[in-house]
Structure 1
Amino acid sequence: MATAVRTALGMGAAALATLMLTPPAARAASAGDPVRRPSASPAPSPTTSASPSPSPSPSASSSSRATPPATPTASPSGPRVRTYAYGSHARQIMDVWWHTAGPRRPIVFVIHGGWWSGGDKKYMTSITRSYSDLGYTVVNLDYRLSGDAAWPAQRTDVMSAVNAVRRHAAMFNADPSRYVLLGFSAGGHLATAVGAYGDGRPGLRGVVGISPPVSPLSAFADGSAFGSKEQQKLRKAAIKLAGGCLPAKCPRVWSSMEVPFHASAGDPPMLTIHSSEEFVPPYQSEMLKESLQTVGVPMVVKTMAGTQHSAPLYREPGVAETVQAWIVARLGRVAPPAASPAASPAVSPPQR
């Protein structure tokens, strides 16, 4: 099994190396640059600026692809917000929130859930704003869904978005050597899968999953005829993510999706939170914790009473505060966005 897993990972790495970060029309002129999506008018909310078109508007100049427009989408005292493409598919887009003043800031990547087959970054806007308010550069991203492409396209998309932002970190006043992934439900699976990919990712300081189904094989088993309706739905969603192929027929695909199989010593520390009675049970994360601890990587699994899942669980009293404190401990505390550059203190040392 381990050999099959490593083989699948090697194939994924080779595929990743061929990815381009701009639509085909823009690659010849500006290879490797993220492309801003056109919008009718500037607005503080990034969800209004996204366009389904995978290419820039005809009026966009080649220089506009390399740097953001001069006019910010928010007030001078607030963050600048833009929607960029990191690939040619309509869902390969991301909203970047960044502060132009002060020191380069660590990055928080937010990954929405939705059974791998639905969901949208627009539902993560308030959570994105909360981390921007803490002073971080924040990336709220979409990715190809299971109806668009089978696994590992979703993991590849997250890594592509991360690579694009890190490559252009100066453009976003960001520190490419310090970032975390924060994923919800299916997005939590993607976040942990990226964290466990290979033997660590450059600059990745931590991974947080809220109700993450880190073990699709367990979800498949739990979703039998004896499982709850939600567990049966999750089983079907995992099958769809695997391209419609069952575990017995496509063991390599399912092994690639199974996060606990890929723990290695270079992986980042992780935090996951579940409800005690939700349909993605805490024992899935406990499996991942055991695998990570075996190779010396710390992981914290917290369980809250009740049945809340994903974003509703995040809104339970104390959960958001716990996650924010954990992220601050890994990235360091940055100056409040409203502080003047002269008054901005140095970023406090993060904790591993």
Structure 2
Amino acid sequence: MRTAVLVGALALAAVTVTTPATAEAAKDPTPAPVSTSDLSTLNGLSYETVSYGRERRQDMDVWWTADGTPRPGVFLIHGGWWSSGDKRQMTTIAREYADEGYAVFNLNYRLSGQAAWPAQRTDVLSAIQTARKHAARWGFDVKNFVVVGFSAGGHLAASVGTYGDGMNGLKGVVGLSPIVSPLRAYTDGAVTTDPYKRKLRASAIQLAGGCEPKGRCSRIWASMEVAWHASRHDAPMLTAHSADEFVPPVQSQLLKQMLGQVGVPVTVITTPGTAHSSAMYRQPGVSEQVHQWIAERLGGQL
């Protein structure tokens, strides 16, 4: 059995994949090899870590049920001001979705100190493309998946959701305290004493390559605005915020308005308090609503 596992791992490592066929991802036409490590089986689930590109942090953990049945996918994106954090923060949540029967892809991506926008969005698109490429190995139904992001990861998830005019197979996007509008965060951070809002403003500037939203940098900031890219074939979205957190619900209200104008539904959950991101996700009833919404988008409980 161990020999078979090693042979399978080596075979996957020998495969090369091409990043998404978009103008953005095509900036680096060099194929990225898929590498495999830490293969194990836990409680009927298979798990491995693979690279979807050649740069540091272009990797993801994959959890799947190895029974030969294609299953809906859940892509998870961690938060951390775009400049910190790691997929390890999402391990418990990844296991929850894997235990429900989904094929789960828990992503790392290049941080803003390593590469400026749009590298982060490109990485998520590349990870999805890699999952498509090796769908048979991971029992992944490429026509049925959602993307779930937390805080800065929520911005990346929503950005993927409005990139182009829809994505084949993407049935929904979930953002937990998503930074839908870096421009709004930039403005809010300039007129407040809240240290988190001020940090978020500085983080958005760093994401944009160190430039503020004026002059030559205005196009970069426009690219970072989720709602400005709404189109009628975008996937439905669910977002959740605490009423008084530093990424307020108004961030998602603009998204709801803009996507609503093109006929795409957006549901915004607001819970009392100041809890942010994964802490807010663990507030009573929030994760249950998220799981139910995802199950409805992906065709019911497995």
Q: What TM-score comes out, normalization by structure 1 length? A: 0.77
Structure 1 unaligned segments of length 5 or more: list them. 1-11, 27-33, 39-48, 50-71, 336-352
- Residues 1:206 and 2:172 are matched in the alignment: yes
Q: Using the TM superposition, give the Cα deviation of residue 102 of structure 1 relative to its aligned residue in structure 2, in angstroms.
A: 5.4
Secondary structure at the counterpart of residue 277 of structure 1: coil
Task: State the partner residue of 2:35.
Answer: 35
User: Which of the residues 8, 13, 17 maps onto 2:22?
Assistant: 13
Q: Using the TM superposition, give the Cα deviation of residue 211 of structure 1 relative to its aligned residue in structure 2, in angstroms.
A: 0.1
Task: State the partner residue of 1:125.
Answer: 91
For 2:30 and 2:142, how far apart are their aligned partners in 1?
17
Q: Using the TM superposition, give the Cα deviation of residue 308 of structure 1 relative to its aligned residue in structure 2, in angstroms.
A: 0.2
Q: What TM-score comes out, normalization by structure 2 length? A: 0.90
- Residues 1:304 and 2:289 are matched in the alignment: no
For 1:15 and 1:198, how far apart are their aligned partners in 2?
11
Report matched runs for 1:267-346 at 5 Å: 267-333=234-300, 335=302
Q: Is the 8 A contact 1:22 1:35 kept in 2?
A: no
For 1:283 and 1:334, how far apart are their aligned partners in 2?
31
Report matched runs for 1:185-200 at 5 Å: 185-200=151-166
For 1:21 and 1:160, how far apart are their aligned partners in 2?
12
Task: State the partner residue of 1:81.
Answer: 47
Secondary structure at the counterpart of residue 96 of structure 1: strand
* 1:110-169 deviation line (CA, Å, top 9, x unaligned): 000000000000010000000001100000010000000000000000000001101211
Q: Using the TM superposition, give the Cα deviation of residue 248 of structure 1 relative to its aligned residue in structure 2, in angstroms.
A: 1.2
Report matched runs for 1:185-264 at 5 Å: 185-249=151-215, 250-264=217-231
For 1:199 and 1:261, how far apart are their aligned partners in 2?
12
Task: State the partner residue of 2:118.
Answer: 152
Q: Using the TM superposition, give the Cα deviation of residue 264 of structure 1 relative to its aligned residue in structure 2, in angstroms.
A: 0.3
For 2:55 and 2:49, how far apart are their aligned partners in 1?
14
Q: Using the TM superposition, give the Cα deviation of residue 333 of structure 1 relative to its aligned residue in structure 2, in angstroms.
A: 3.0
Secondary structure at the counterpart of residue 223 of structure 1: helix
* Amino acid in structure 2 at the alignment position of 1:209: G
For 2:188 and 2:199, how far apart are their aligned partners in 1?
10
In the superposition, relative to structure 1, how do residues 127 and 21 fare at CA in structure 2: closer, same or farther (>3 Å)?
Answer: farther
Task: State the partner residue of 1:111.
Answer: 77
Task: State the partner residue of 1:68.
Answer: none
- Seq. identity, %: 54
Q: Is the 8 A contact 1:211 1:309 kept in 2?
A: yes
Structure 2 unaligned segments of length 5 or more: list them. 1-20
Larger Rg: 1
Task: State the partner residue of 1:265.
Answer: 232
